[in-house]
């Protein structure tokens, strides 16, 4: 069966790269083992092997007889070699084909394997997401996309909507990222001619923070990634004018920020442009700009044809500030510079990352041709600045998720360079790994944060629903605040970075933040979601006029189930108030609010509560200004052979309580809130409870069952109280 034409170039690169990784890691060790083996055929006289070169040397013959002697050597001498000697020859020949030194080869191979492992972990976490952003194509209709067509002009997405909706979100997400990595890999390979180092650059650029912010719209971004893949395959076969004009028209129908990257594919031509690459640079940038203009004109024409609107109507949430005077232009230029400065801080992150990137820039510049360096600066600078220049007349807000070109432009200039020797390749690869790990931490935490919030929204809704959601005509949300729910869940993990967008942030005056929560209910299985915060809508009156629901006072979950209407709509409200009332108990069962407050060191919540499973554990407990103490209801893992569990409890780093628990059930511990921690608690809205267990033990190690967890206490509930508990400062801290 023939391979599909689109996949063959990718398969070819992956196959060669895999072989190179194996050779660079395995070869040096294998050669050492083979060289230590004695010859297996002492009587072999027609063949001597030179281990320094790896070439078999035939017996000396005169020039006219060389051809015949070589034939005799290949048929007779090789036939008399042992299997070990044949294997040794194969690996010696493989070693000669690798030009880099052994140390450099093994370092770069190890780095790319580390990057691959971390990237696989991130992909795994991303594939666990089942709820995407509220306006991604999975949750909208053709009419909704038609409205957005008027403001954003994404005609390609409008045309391809049925196809995009049919592809699962996880497939679209990971396919888009792999196509992006393929684009960067080929762009780097055109310059460096080193597949291995190009893969490292691709892995680094794949961790660009904006990719994982915009990635929560997988269906909306997939067309742009597909175009990147097609451009990668076509850039050497298509004349430059047709390439930029054609892809400019297509990219402007999807997302223009990916079109800015296309000149990277032609960086390799600048290394072969002789002494004067400037004509080539000018040609590339001119055609690149012409492609953008052509795409915009086509966008306007298509929008006029489809919607009757002659010009894109920018949405209010983008906060446009049009240039109508010189003062307006100055204001917009200043705002672009402010955005640029803030986004550069996002790229360079901190002193360490900034120093590493600067060091890599110095390394790559040491041996490169200065003419290419200058040309690369111009091309990379144009890629970085394009978005800021184009948005100057409009004055719109530049969101962090739209600065992919800023990241890639900087990283590609620093790490893509010709003429790197083995030592500099290793050093550059090490620098790339440091930056990679910093970006990876932010991206992975954001993915886990998003997955945690959305899965909690959905899972608890399904768990508390009396019947499966499909059995109801719909869901009515009677009241509450989704933003507060999100904040409470954030307390349990604190993974969200400053770049992540709040899920429940209001979008428009007539579109409250709770509408962003609605997709979680849709994924849970409810066919229709109706918001009735004030019950004045006609549809709310229709459903709730004769409805008498249950009270929420005794319900402690994220949601309060009010009941079912006569026309079979389930009615709920967001149960935020139950999270932090003084004198209110929070339980840590599988269905309780407390399960969302467990930060680290705990097992999975069970029907009765939650066991600790480490020597230390943390809880992030919401605390109001009227709370003076916390009452903990605990189980303790004690047996006749292990009669006591000693526990230390600290609040925000201050040790406040020591307790010795000797009962399996019914332990109650009062924890005072010290004045030293009050200021931080009032500022954050929660207290960090840190537990230390001196006697944690595994039941299977003391003959108390097969459980292998490290058990100490099991927490059932925490009650916030106004009662003041005597507090005596204790020595030690929980830091």
The per-residue pLDDT for range 65-100, each reduced to its tens digit, is 444 344 444 444 545 566 656 555 655 554 554 444
| Residues 48 and 136 grouped into a single domain | no
Tokens representing 688 are 């960090």
DSSP state of 314: -
Instruction: Tell me whether residue 635 is in a domain.
Output: yes
Q: Which residues contact 37 (CB under 8 A, 6 or more apart)?
A: 84, 88
| Residues 32 and 86 grouped into a single domain | yes
Task: Give Cα 723 to chain centroid, integer Å.
Answer: 45
Of 225, 205, 176, residue with least CA distance to 439: 205
CB 88 within 8 A of CB 30: no
Task: Give Cα 452 to chain centroid, integer Å.
Answer: 14
Q: Which residues contact 209 (CB under 8 A, 6 or more apart)?
A: 346, 400, 407, 439, 442, 443, 497, 499
CA distance readout (Å), 140 to 55, 129, 337, 514: 67, 18, 35, 16
How far apart are alpha carbons 357 and 411 in whole angstroms? 8
How far apart are alpha carbons 504 and 477 in whole angstroms? 15
Q: Could you identify the residue written with the tokens 């005509």?
A: 473
We report the CATH number of the domain holding residue 652 as 2.60.120.260
Instruction: Tell me whether residue 1 is in a domain.
Output: no
How far apart are alpha carbons 628 and 672 in whole angstroms? 6
Instruction: Tell me whether residue 35 is in a domain.
Output: yes
Q: In what order do the strands lie in the sheet with 686-693?
A: 598-600, 616-622, 686-693, 645-651, 654-661
Q: How many domains does the chain divide into?
A: 4
CB 284 within 8 A of CB 258: no
Going through 183-245 in order, the beta strands assigned E by DSSP cover none
| Residues 381 and 303 grouped into a single domain | yes
Instruction: Tell me whether residue 149 is in a domain.
Output: yes
| Residues 377 and 234 grouped into a single domain | yes
How far apart are alpha carbons 501 and 454 in whole angstroms? 13
Report how far apart the first and last C-alpha atoms of the chain are (Å, whole number): 62
Residue 452: what pLDDT?
81
3-state SS of 555-610 is CCCCEEEEEECCCCEEEEEECCHHHCCCCCEEECCCCCHHHHHEEECECCCCCCCE
Of 516, 515, 509, residue with least CA distance to 317: 509
| Residues 60 and 203 grouped into a single domain | no
How far apart are alpha carbons 653 and 629 in whole angstroms? 16
Instruction: Tell me whether residue 669 is in a domain.
Output: yes
The total number of residues shown for the chain amounts to 735
How far apart are alpha carbons 100 and 105 in whole angstroms? 6
| Residues 409 and 377 grouped into a single domain | yes
CA distance readout (Å), 40 to 29, 31, 36, 43, 97: 20, 16, 12, 9, 26
Instruction: Tell me whether residue 338 is in a domain.
Output: yes
Tokens representing 681 are 């608690």
| Residues 146 and 236 grouped into a single domain | yes
How far apart are alpha carbons 631 and 683 in whole angstroms? 22
Residue ending a domain, choose from 532, 562, 579 = 579
Tokens representing 396 are 């719109």
**Exposure of 419 in the CB half-sphere (CA atoms within 13 A):** 12
CB 677 within 8 A of CB 689: no
Instruction: Show the domain range for 20.
Output: 8-96
Number of Cβ atoms within 10 Å of the Cβ of 279: 10
Residue 52: what pLDDT?
38
Instruction: Tell me whether residue 726 is in a domain.
Output: no
Residue ending a domain, choose from 579, 614, 635 = 579
| Residues 241 and 159 grouped into a single domain | yes
pTM summary value: 0.70
| Residues 295 and 365 grouped into a single domain | yes
Residue 221: what pLDDT?
93
Instruction: Tell me whether residue 38 is in a domain.
Output: yes
How far apart are alpha carbons 487 and 491 in whole angstroms? 6
| Residues 218 and 355 grouped into a single domain | yes
Residue ending a domain, choose from 76, 96, 116 = 96
Residue 85: what pLDDT?
64
Of 82, 151, 464, 187, residue with least CA distance to 317: 151
Q: Which residues contact 493 (CB under 8 A, 6 or more apart)?
A: 448, 449, 452, 599
pLDDT, block means (10 residues), the chain with 735 residues? 48 54 49 45 40 42 43 47 59 49 77 95 93 85 81 84 92 96 95 91 95 92 95 94 94 90 91 71 93 91 81 71 86 90 90 92 73 86 92 85 93 89 89 95 89 83 86 82 61 55 47 66 87 73 75 66 86 65 72 79 90 91 78 92 92 89 90 81 76 92 87 91 73 49
Of 430, 10, 5, residue with least CA distance to 186: 10
Residue 40: what pLDDT?
43
- Rounded to the nearest 5°, which phi and psi values hold at 587? -100, 155
Of 581, 662, 594, residue with least CA distance to 632: 594
Of 556, 561, 582, residue with least CA distance to 572: 561
Residue 594: what pLDDT?
80
| Residues 401 and 503 grouped into a single domain | no
How far apart are alpha carbons 702 and 704 in whole angstroms? 6
How far apart are alpha carbons 138 and 709 in whole angstroms? 41
| Residues 575 and 629 grouped into a single domain | no
How far apart are alpha carbons 633 and 630 in whole angstroms? 10
């Amino acid at each position: 069966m023939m391979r599909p034409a689109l996949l063959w170039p990718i398969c070819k690169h992956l196959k060669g790269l895999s072989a190179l990784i194996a050779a660079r890691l395995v070869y040096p060790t294998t050669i050492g083992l083979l060289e230590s083996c004695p010859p297996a055929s002492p009587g072999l006289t027609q063949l001597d092997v030179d281990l320094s070169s790896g070439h078999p040397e035939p017996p000396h013959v005169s020039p006219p007889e060389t051809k015949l002697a070589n034939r005799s050597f290949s048929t007779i001498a090789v036939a008399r070699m042992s299997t070990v000697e044949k294997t040794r020859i194969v690996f010696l020949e493989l070693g000669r084909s690798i030009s880099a030194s052994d140390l450099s080869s093994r370092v770069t191979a190890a780095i790319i394997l580390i990057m691959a492992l971390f990237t696989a972990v991130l992909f795994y976490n991303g594939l666990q997401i089942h709820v995407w952003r509220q306006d991604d194509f999975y949750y909208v209709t053709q009419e909704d996309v038609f409205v957005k067509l008027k403001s954003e002009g994404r005609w390609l997405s409008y045309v391809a909507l049925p196809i995009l909706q049919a592809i699962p979100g996880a497939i679209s997400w990971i396919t888009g990222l792999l196509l992006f990595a393929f684009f960067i890999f080929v762009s780097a390979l055109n310059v460096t001619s080193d597949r291995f180092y190009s893969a490292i650059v691709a892995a680094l650029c794949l961790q660009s923070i904006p990719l994982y912010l915009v990635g929560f719209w997988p269906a909306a971004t997939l067309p742009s990634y597909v175009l990147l893949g097609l451009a990668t395959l076509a850039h050497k076969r298509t004349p430059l004018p047709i390439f930029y004009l054609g892809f400019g028209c297509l990219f402007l129908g999807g997302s223009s920020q990916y079109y800015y990257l296309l000149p990277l594919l032609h960086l390799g031509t600048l290394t072969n442009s002789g002494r004067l690459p400037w004509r080539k640079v000018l040609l590339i940038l001119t055609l690149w700009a012409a492609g953008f203009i052509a795409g915009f004109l086509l966008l306007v024409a298509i929008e006029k044809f489809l919607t009757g609107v002659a010009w894109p109507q920018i949405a209010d949430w983008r906060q446009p500030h049009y240039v109508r005077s010189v003062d307006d232009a100055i204001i917009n230029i200043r705002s672009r510079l402010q955005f640029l400065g803030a986004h550069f801080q996002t790229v360079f992150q901190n002193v360490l990352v900034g120093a590493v990137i600067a060091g890599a820039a110095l390394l790559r510049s040491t041996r490169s041709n200065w003419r290419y360096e200058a040309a690369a600066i111009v091309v990379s600078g144009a890629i970085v600045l394009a978005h800021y220049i184009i948005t100057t007349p409009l004055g719109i807000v530049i969101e962090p998720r739209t600065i992919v070109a800023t990241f890639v432009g900087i990283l590609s200039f620093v790490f893509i360079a010709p003429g790197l020797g083995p030592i500099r390749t290793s050093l550059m690869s090490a620098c790339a790994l440091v930056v990679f790990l910093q970006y990876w931490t932010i991206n992975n935490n954001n993915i886990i944060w998003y997955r945690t919030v959305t899965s909690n929204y959905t899972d608890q809704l399904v768990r508390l629903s009396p019947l499966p959601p499909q059995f109801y005509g719909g869901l009515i949300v009677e009241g509450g605040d989704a933003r507060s729910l999100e904040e409470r869940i954030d307390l349990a993990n604190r993974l969200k970075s400053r770049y992540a967008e709040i899920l429940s942030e209001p979008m428009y005056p007539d579109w409250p933040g709770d509408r962003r929560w609605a997709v979680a209910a849709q994924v849970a299985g409810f066919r229709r979601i109706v918001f009735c915060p004030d019950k004045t809508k006609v549809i709310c009156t229709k459903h709730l006029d004769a409805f008498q629901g249950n009270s929420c006072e005794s319900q402690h979950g994220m949601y309060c189930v009010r009941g079912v209407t006569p026309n079979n709509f389930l009615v709920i409200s967001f149960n935020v108030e139950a999270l932090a009332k003084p004198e209110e108990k929070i339980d840590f069962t599988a269905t309780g609010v407390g399960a969302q407050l467990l930060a680290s060191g705990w097992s999975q919540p069970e029907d009765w509560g939650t066991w600790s499973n480490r020597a230390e554990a943390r809880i992030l407990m919401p605390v109001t200004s009227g709370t003076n103490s916390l009452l903990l209801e605990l189980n303790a893992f004690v047996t006749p052979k292990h009669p006591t569990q000693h526990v230390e409890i600290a609040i925000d780093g201050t040790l406040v309580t020591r307790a010795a628990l000797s009962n399996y059930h019914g332990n109650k511990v009062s924890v005072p809130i010290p004045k030293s921690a009050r200021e931080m608690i009032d500022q954050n809205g929660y207290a960090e409870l840190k537990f230390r267990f001196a006697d944690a033990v595994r039941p299977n190690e003391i003959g108390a069952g097969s459980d292998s967890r490290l058990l100490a206490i099991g927490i059932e509930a925490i009650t916030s109280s106004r009662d003041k508990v005597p507090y005596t400062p204790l020595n030690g801290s929980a830091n």
